[in-house]
């Protein structure tokens, strides 16, 4: 890896962290000289990192204004929650025809691990286990293109997993919802399963909207 590439990646990681941790309000100007000084690099790797972030939808670059943070408005959070609800609800519904009793036992054990993490307020472990729980369900459908789309959404909007940091009580609620979801899957309640997943996602949306409203009242 060249030295310049390492610098670009370093600046990219720095800026992405700032954006995902909500350090930049929507429409905040990202001054190249200031970022270069903060990262200890020249302006060239900063420009390259900003272009990369632009292609991923995190930054907007205009001729006269320069780079600005796109930010995460209530509308954006609502939109991504709706998309995830449709994709993940559908795949969970389809999984009913593929999950065996053994598979369901594994999922139940995973949910018990999440229950323990919730009791310990171990949100870091919970976030990892939660992702594994849902992806394990989706993988059984063998719908690779759908999985690819979900992985892309999870990667781009990874900060949404922080709801368990914003609301620690959400971990215990989520465990109970997982138990109900597994019960519905066992009973082959197709429509109820899909609706349950969408409701599961809407709970996360409510938490994020509350957070954004309190932190950025004008968003």
**Domains, in order of start, for the chain:** 3-69 (1.10.10.10), 74-215 (1.20.120.530)
Q: Is the pLDDT of residue 13 over 90?
A: no
For 58-100, the DSSP string reads SEEEETTTEEEE----HHHHHHHHHHHHHHHHHHHHHHTTT--
Select from 111, 22, 34 the least CA-distant residue to 70. Answer: 22
- Percentage of the chain surpassing pLDDT 70? 93
Q: Please calculate the CA angle 130-15-167 and round it to the nearest 5 degrees.
A: 35
Q: Is the pLDDT of residue 1 over 50?
A: no
| Distance, CA of 210 to CA of 152 (rounded, Å) | 25
Residue 22 pLDDT class (50, 70, 90 cuts): low
pLDDT at 74: 73
State the chain's mean pLDDT as an integer: 88
Total-model pTM = 0.75
Q: Tell which wins on pLDDT, 33 or 207.
A: 33
The answer to whether the beta carbons of residues 46 and 35 sit under 8 Å apart is yes
Q: Which of 82-86, 93-97, 208-212 has the lowest mean pLDDT?
A: 208-212
pLDDT at 219: 52
Q: Is the pLDDT of residue 72 over 90?
A: no
Give the burial class of 79: count Cβ atoms within 10 A of its Cβ; 0-12 exposed, 13-18 middle, 19 or more buried. exposed
The answer to whether the beta carbons of residues 21 and 56 sit under 8 Å apart is no
pLDDT at 4: 79
Q: Tell which wins on pLDDT, 195 or 156.
A: 195
The answer to whether the beta carbons of residues 107 and 137 sit under 8 Å apart is yes
Q: Is the pLDDT of residue 19 over 60?
A: yes
pLDDT at 20: 67
Residue 184 pLDDT class (50, 70, 90 cuts): very high
- What single-letter DSSP state applies at residue 31? -
pLDDT at 5: 82
| Distance, CA of 88 to CA of 137 (rounded, Å) | 10
Please name the residues in contact with 43: beta carbons below 8 A apart, sequence gap of 6 or more.
32, 33, 36
Residue 216 pLDDT class (50, 70, 90 cuts): low
Distances (CA, A) of 134 to 28, 30, 55: 35, 36, 28
pLDDT at 185: 98
């Amino acid at each position: 890896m060249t030295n310049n590439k390492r610098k670009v990646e370093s600046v990219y990681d720095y800026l992405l962290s700032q954006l995902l941790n909500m350090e930049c309000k929507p429409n905040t100007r990202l001054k190249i000289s200031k970022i270069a000084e903060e990262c200890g690099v020249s302006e060239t790797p900063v420009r390259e990192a900003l272009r990369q972030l632009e292609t991923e939808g995190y930054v907007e670059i205009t001729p006269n204004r320069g780079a600005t943070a796109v930010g995460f408005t209530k509308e954006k959070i609502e939109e991504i929650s709706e998309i995830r609800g449709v994709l993940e609800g559908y795949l969970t519904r389809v999984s009913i025809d593929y999950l065996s009793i053994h598979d369901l036992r594994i999922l139940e054990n995973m949910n018990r691990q999440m229950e323990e993490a919730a009791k310990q307020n171990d949100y870091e472990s919970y976030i990892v286990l939660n992702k594994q729980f849902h992806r394990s369900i989706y993988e059984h459908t063998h719908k690779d293109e759908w999985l690819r789309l979900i992985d892309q959404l999870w990667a781009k909007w990874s900060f949404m997993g922080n709801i368990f940091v914003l609301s620690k009580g959400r971990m215990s609620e989520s465990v109970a919802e997982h138990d109900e979801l597994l019960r519905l899957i066992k009973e082959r309640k197709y429509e109820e399963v899909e609706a349950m997943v969408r409701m599961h996602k809407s709970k996360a949306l409510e938490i994020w909207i509350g957070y954004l409203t309190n932190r950025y009242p004008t968003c």
